[in-house]
Structure 1
Amino acid sequence: MKENRYDYIIVGAGSAGCVLANRLTEDARHRVLLLETGGSDKSIFIQMPTALSIPMNTKKYAWQFETEPEPYLDNRRMHCPRGKVLGGSSSINGMVYVRGHARDFDEWEAEGAEGWNYRRVLPYFKKAETWAFGADDYRGDQGPLGVNNGNNMQNPLYQAFVDAGVDAGYFPTEDYNGAQQEGFGAMHMTVKNGRRWSTANAYLRPAMERPNLTVVTHALVHKVLLDGKAATGVRYEQGGKVHEAKAVEEVILSAGSIGSPHLLQLSGIGRREVLEQAGIEVKHELPGVGENLQDHLEFYFQFRCNKPVSLNGKLDWWNKLKIGLRWILKKDGLGATNHFESCGFIRSKAGVEWPDLQYHFLPAAMRYDGKEAFAGDGFQLHIGHNKPKSRGTVHVQSADPTQAPQIRFNYLQHEADREGFRDCVRLTREIINQPAMDEYRGPEIQPGAEVQTDEQIDAFVRQAVESAYHPSCTCKMGTDELAVVDPQTRVRGIRHLRVVDSSIFPTIPNGNLNAPTIMVAERAADLIRGREPLKPSDAPVLMDGQWQERQRPGTAKRVLG
């Protein structure tokens, strides 16, 4: 058994772990060990943005988790892939860059995550990024993370969708990551110079040039080592051999919303009955571990397209070859985008203060995993209700670290979530039937014009809805009895142990999770290093001043929220 000593041990080289590896090794005095179960991300299928469906569905690059039968989805087992490669889920995701609404982070603080309100987290979003169109009060231009709009909406369907949203009475928004999320506009992606800009590319590779960072791949962590109520290191397996690494300062779990709670439970930290049922000795009872699981669901609203402008005409082998060759040679063209280049964020009903529905617009009609496309031209909207009230669990099943945990989201358990998806169907039809889409809009493929009543919509959603791959909140930050980490990201009751990843979100934001996960790691790095936090922002937030009375803003003047 080999033993090594480091100042910090980070478990998981994903969206958060790569950020921490970079920021903690900025101080040459800190020796840092980064452990990752997966291997190299040097694959064309990871680096070429248009190939995004491949790594997500490849065992080599992703944990292919599957849920228990979901009781409110007709007992379907849902696919739950998580990154298992350098860059983690930032190397397999759709590269969509959405921070969430300002009120999402104010909500975090209201839930007990003191210091994590919008004014305090905005500077860390700015610190992380280089926005292709320059810095302002909301956007940064000096950070590691490259963010742009792909091909700048060259396909006419992108702008037609934005115009349809405006026709329907919603705001246009110049930057949904800026002053105003609500509305329709261009979508942003983590792509730089035509390449997927994962946290491995943005943060880890520069850090690997430093002598004080050790990166170990193909390392499966078995448990956190404890001495009483203090973490002292980790036990991990690599190449059939078991090693122990000791941490002088801290062990930091960045294994994600499935991996981090599972690893705490394997280490004897969690809800007593869950651990005892799995045959694991209880070292520290912490009932919130693996609870509070949240995710975004979405379905594809699909239409045939009356003009031959969609990407369905580019899906044959010859066009795919040309796209791939152009990307290899020039790093541009259709290979350099995730194809989600326009979007929308709206409120589902009057009385909802900030957007809870999100659109990703795709100028093609096909499955997200790339397995099926429709003959002829088409387009689709990925639409979901993004502030779910349903809660699930991640529970260890045995002391064997190779056995996957039991995952149950309880999707659509709450009536408000089912209502949200009914709103998705009805509001989307209204938007797509605006004049801006007239020249493109063909017959509705899915759900189908016959799906009209609440009962019909509910039945369709139960069968068609899919995960948006945003599991979160299983080690939530706060101060109540179910909080797992405190607002400093320290595991409650255990010294020298932190969790830093999307599992510590108290609630799920309205948007994709890569951007807020990176922000959390940036801010946590300052907390770990004992540095003064960045100065809070005073940048205003623009919202509809009459949100209590109406579902959409119409032509009313925007006001400061």
Structure 2
Amino acid sequence: MTNIQADAFDYVIVGAGAAGSVLANRLSADPTLTVCVLEAGPPDRNPFIHIPAGFIKTLADPSVTWQFKTEPLEMTGGRRISTVQGRTLGGSSSVNGMIYNRGQPGDLDSWAQRGNRGWGYADCLPYYRRTENRIGEAGETRGKNAEGIPVTDMDWSHPVSEAFIQGCLGLGIPRTRDYNSGDQAGVGYYQRTIRNGRRVSAARAFLKPAMKRPNLEVRTNARASRILFEGKRAIGVQYLSAPGAPAREVRARREVVLSAGTVNTARLLQVSGVGPADLLGSLGVPVVHAVRGVGANFRDHYASRFVMRARKGVETLNELSRGLRLGSQIARWAMGKPSILATTPSHVHVFWKSFPELDQPDLQCVFTPGSYAEGKVYILDDYPGVTAGAWQHRPESHGWVRARSANVFEDPEINPNYLSDPMDVRVHLAGMRLLRRMLATPELGKFIEAETLPGPKVQSDDEMLDFAKRNGSTTYHLNGTARMGPETDPGAVVSDRLLVHGMQGLRIADASIMPSMPSANTYATTLMIAEKAADFIKGVEAA
């Protein structure tokens, strides 16, 4: 790639994650525009990024992740929950679980109903299709764009997973042909962003091809420390390579676009003087523009997981990932054959209802033919085991992200207020009881011996809730801290064109703009948001 000598560009994008990668590609496709991308992390050269099973290593590696933690909360038993996010080219798409999940059409229709023009499902569907290269069976709602993210079907399965599915069918839960078609309800195998045995991150699909263009410059190890303003207009970004390093500046002739992720976008706005006035005052940051909603409306999915011991002789992931069996799996992966090295952390999905009267699922459940040791981070049990988890699609509980100081090398305060709403507690408990029903079917019973976590002694609502407090965890689906909404909405941060209210030349395109939690993992919708933002910037609309 030819380096651009000038430190002024038409567009400066902060963050080379899912959204930033899409934006960099689409904007730099116009050779008359110049684009600079600032990424706080390093290039994506770590080999564990590209091996799907390598997420076990990368999630614990601070060289390629932000090792964020929540505040200790009463509803998490006083624990600080790890909310790791990606910090490398591709962002969280380089370290996530590789699940492709759009959610329900009603999620987006509700955004439009809040006054966000052009954000209904029918409006957004062309952008989902444009970001996707569906490999395999694809209906009219799916994308076949060779320049999109490849979405493939699971090619490695386990008899225990199929028994779990059959047990769900026996409970009256239908098998889904395509949960991304717009009809989500049912059970089946996840679709994933893996092709030819390797993770395909947003950086690999969108950013790397664009980096060959002379009008795009990507700067890694460049941590944005402040947005530069002239009055209410964003004119550039200041960034640092390390604590105490000299600050550098890059100017934007047209726009600064924030795609730094739910935590970092909110924090960068705050330390730059855009946010709640009282918070900025406590940080000693001069107020450029008081926006109450910056950092508010923070949401995440909170999951509880059950572990079952498998019967003697059943080889789960716990056994297949050790010794000679692991060697065999590595050999299969190297030869391009289905292998545990090229699977997602969750294998089977169940989208279902906490209460029969509901019209649509309000729960997502997952199943994996493997289990992690209690209290240990990504260490598999020393006995054959399986895991099933559940979380509420659209939690009412919401919290905040707040900078602790103007120093961007100090982690912000992250408070998701998990299970603080009574309805969330009710739905969470219903999800846990649904898990038990799915794990107690005769079909699965041929393979399963006993429940080890939480164990049969945990039965009452109080006991179940206590377990959820002590053992629940994030699903890393952070969103909402720069909520989209009309200017008349005092909590909204950006317009339906993703421009920050009351400012010029400043746009946000990442999961932070989501007005409400989608009934899904957030990755697919973040790609869609970025694709839509690119059209806004270029002044065009999807065909």
* Residue 488 of structure 1: aligned partner: 497
The 1:503–1:25 alpha-carbon spacing in structure 2 relative to 1, beyond 3 Å, is same
Following superposition, which runs of at least 4 residues in structure 1 exceed 6 angstroms of deviation?
Answer: none
The question of 1:365 aligning with 2:371 is answered yes
Alignment of 1:322-361 (within 5 A): 322-328=328-334, 330=336, 332-361=338-367
Q: 1:110, CA displacement in angstroms?
A: 2.0
Q: 1:87, CA displacement in angstroms?
A: 0.3
* Residue 100 of structure 2: aligned partner: 97
> Does the CA contact (< 8 Å) of 2:136 and 2:153 recur in 1?
no
The question of 1:149 aligning with 2:158 is answered no
Q: 1:371, CA displacement in angstroms?
A: 3.5
Task: State how far apart, in whole Å, the 2-side matches of 1:334 and 1:126 are.
Answer: 29
* Residue 397 of structure 2: aligned partner: 390
* Residue 230 of structure 1: aligned partner: 233
Find the partner of 2:307 among 299, 302, 307.
302
> Does the CA contact (< 8 Å) of 2:368 and 2:387 recur in 1?
yes
Alignment of 1:401-550 (within 5 A): 401-479=408-486, 480-534=489-543
* Residue 11 of structure 2: aligned partner: 8
Q: TM-score, normalised by structure 2?
A: 0.95
3-state SS of 1:420 partner: helix
Q: 1:328, CA displacement in angstroms?
A: 4.2
Q: 1:372, CA displacement in angstroms?
A: 2.8
Q: Which blocks of at least 5 consecutive residues in structure 2 are unaligned?
A: none
Q: 1:150, CA displacement in angstroms?
A: 3.1
Q: 1:274, CA displacement in angstroms?
A: 0.8
Alignment of 1:122-137 (within 5 A): 122-137=125-140
The more displaced of 366-375 and 294-303 is 366-375
Aligned-pair identity in percent equals 36
Task: State how far apart, in whole Å, the 2-side matches of 1:238 and 1:328 are.
Answer: 37
The more displaced of 141-150 and 274-283 is 141-150
Alignment of 1:238-253 (within 5 A): 238=241, 240-253=245-258
The question of 1:274 aligning with 2:301 is answered no
> Does the CA contact (< 8 Å) of 2:227 and 2:234 recur in 1?
yes
Amino acid at match of 2:533: A
Q: 1:367, CA displacement in angstroms?
A: 5.4
The more displaced of 221-230 and 137-146 is 137-146
Q: Which blocks of at least 5 consecutive residues in structure 1 are unaligned?
A: 535-561
3-state SS of 1:287 partner: coil
* Residue 540 of structure 1: aligned partner: none
Task: State how far apart, in whole Å, the 1-side matches of 2:519 and 2:165 are.
Answer: 19
String of CA shifts for 1:302-356, please: whole Å, max 9, x gaps: 1112251321211324433443354345375221112523211011114433222
> Does the CA contact (< 8 Å) of 1:175 and 1:186 recur in 2?
no
Alignment of 1:186-201 (within 5 A): 186-201=189-204
> Does the CA contact (< 8 Å) of 1:48 and 1:327 recur in 2?
no
Task: State how far apart, in whole Å, the 2-side matches of 1:388 and 1:175 are.
Answer: 24
Task: State how far apart, in whole Å, the 1-side matches of 2:373 and 2:289 are.
Answer: 44
Find the partner of 1:26 among 16, 21, 29.
29
Q: 1:475, CA displacement in angstroms?
A: 0.4
Amino acid at match of 1:516: T
Task: State how far apart, in whole Å, the 2-side matches of 1:469 and 1:532 are.
Answer: 31
Task: State how far apart, in whole Å, the 2-side matches of 1:62 and 1:494 are.
Answer: 31
The 1:214–1:367 alpha-carbon spacing in structure 2 relative to 1, beyond 3 Å, is farther
* Residue 312 of structure 1: aligned partner: 318
3-state SS of 1:65 partner: coil
Task: State how far apart, in whole Å, the 2-side matches of 1:42 and 1:370 are.
Answer: 24
> Does the CA contact (< 8 Å) of 2:404 and 2:411 recur in 1?
yes
* Residue 120 of structure 1: aligned partner: 123
3-state SS of 2:74 partner: coil
Aligned CA RMSD, in angstroms, stands at 1.7
String of CA shifts for 1:85-128, please: whole Å, max 9, x gaps: 00000001111111111111112112332211111111111111
> Does the CA contact (< 8 Å) of 1:114 and 1:478 recur in 2?
no
3-state SS of 2:68 partner: strand
Task: State how far apart, in whole Å, the 1-side matches of 2:103 and 2:424 are.
Answer: 19
Q: What is the aligned length?
A: 532
Task: State how far apart, in whole Å, the 1-side matches of 2:352 and 2:429 are.
Answer: 14
The 1:504–1:311 alpha-carbon spacing in structure 2 relative to 1, beyond 3 Å, is same
3-state SS of 1:72 partner: helix
The 1:334–1:370 alpha-carbon spacing in structure 2 relative to 1, beyond 3 Å, is farther
Q: TM-score, normalised by structure 1?
A: 0.92
> Does the CA contact (< 8 Å) of 1:98 and 1:511 recur in 2?
yes
